């Protein structure tokens, strides 16, 4: 039995959910999202909550049960609160500047990196060494943050590069004389 899948997903006030077939549409204050579940689960909306039930006792049905419930929970969290990833830039002369849907990164390369931000995500730079990626789609927010980090991953000797705000960089000792 899935411990996660058993719990119904509560709908907060101001959020509407509709189920048509295998598709759940959620509408809230920040926008609208939808998720199409596999045929191994049954979705239903009742009493201000969304419930997910497996069809059958197969291993795949039980796997999809918990995963589908978590996806529905992420839809509701996205349209109410949204998702956020914070990045820090460490290094002499390394900085970022957001302008509209483009982010200009100075990362010690021979050229400035101009990163195009996809629709559905907003990128802001409160300081020139901080980048905040926000949106209602958890997967898209994480992917954009990972793509920005990919330009200059943190290195273990001096810690220079782009890292997540809560990330720990394992530091190595340099050469000894």
Per-residue pLDDT of the chain (177 residues; tens, 9 = 90+): 668 888 888 888 888 888 898 899 999 999 999 999 888 899 989 888 999 989 888 899 888 898 999 999 999 999 999 999 999 999 899 999 999 899 999 999 899 999 999 998 999 999 999 999 999 999 999 999 999 999 999 999 998 999 999 999 999 998 888
Helix (H, G, I), strand (E, B) or coil at 73: helix
- Domains of the chain with bracketed CATH: 3-80 (3.90.930.12), 83-164 (3.90.930.12)
pLDDT of residue 77: 92
State residue 146's pLDDT score. Answer: 95
Confidence (pLDDT) at 113: 93
> Which of 7, 127, 138 is CA-nearest to residue 66?
7
**How many CB atoms neighbour CB 160 within 10 A?**
18
d(CA 27, CA 82): 13
pTM attached to this predicted model: 0.86
Round to whole Å and give the CA distance between 6 and 99.
45
Note the pLDDT of residue 143: 95
Distance CA 174, CA 1 (A): 51
Interacting residues of 8 by C-beta distance below 8 A, sequence separation 6+: 49, 50, 51
The pLDDT of residue 1 is 60
Going 136 to 138 to 143 to 146, the CA torsion angle's sign is positive
pLDDT value, residue 2:
63
Between the two ends of the chain, the Cα-to-Cα distance in Å is: 59
């Amino acid at each position: 039995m899935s411990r996660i899948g058993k719990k119904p997903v509560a709908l907060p006030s101001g959020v509407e959910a509709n189920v048509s077939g295998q598709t759940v549409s959620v509408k809230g204050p920040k926008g609208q999202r939808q998720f199409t579940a596999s045929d191994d689960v049954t979705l239903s909306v009742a009493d201000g909550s969304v419930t997910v039930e497996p069809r059958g006792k197969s291993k795949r049905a039980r796997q999809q049960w918990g995963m589908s419930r978590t996806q529905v929970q992420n839809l509701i969290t996205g349209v109410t609160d949204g998702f956020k990833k914070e990045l820090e830039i460490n290094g002499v002369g390394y900085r970022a500047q957001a302008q509209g849907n483009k982010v200009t990164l100075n990362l010690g390369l021979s050229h400035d990196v101009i990163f195009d931000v996809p629709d559905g995500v907003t990128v802001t730079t409160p300081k020139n060494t901080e980048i905040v990626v926000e949106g209602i789609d958890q997967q898209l927010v994480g992917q954009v943050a990972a793509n920005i980090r990919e330009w200059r991953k943190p290195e273990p000797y001096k810690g220079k590069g782009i890292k997540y705000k809560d990330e720990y960089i394992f530091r190595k000792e340099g050469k000894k004389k």
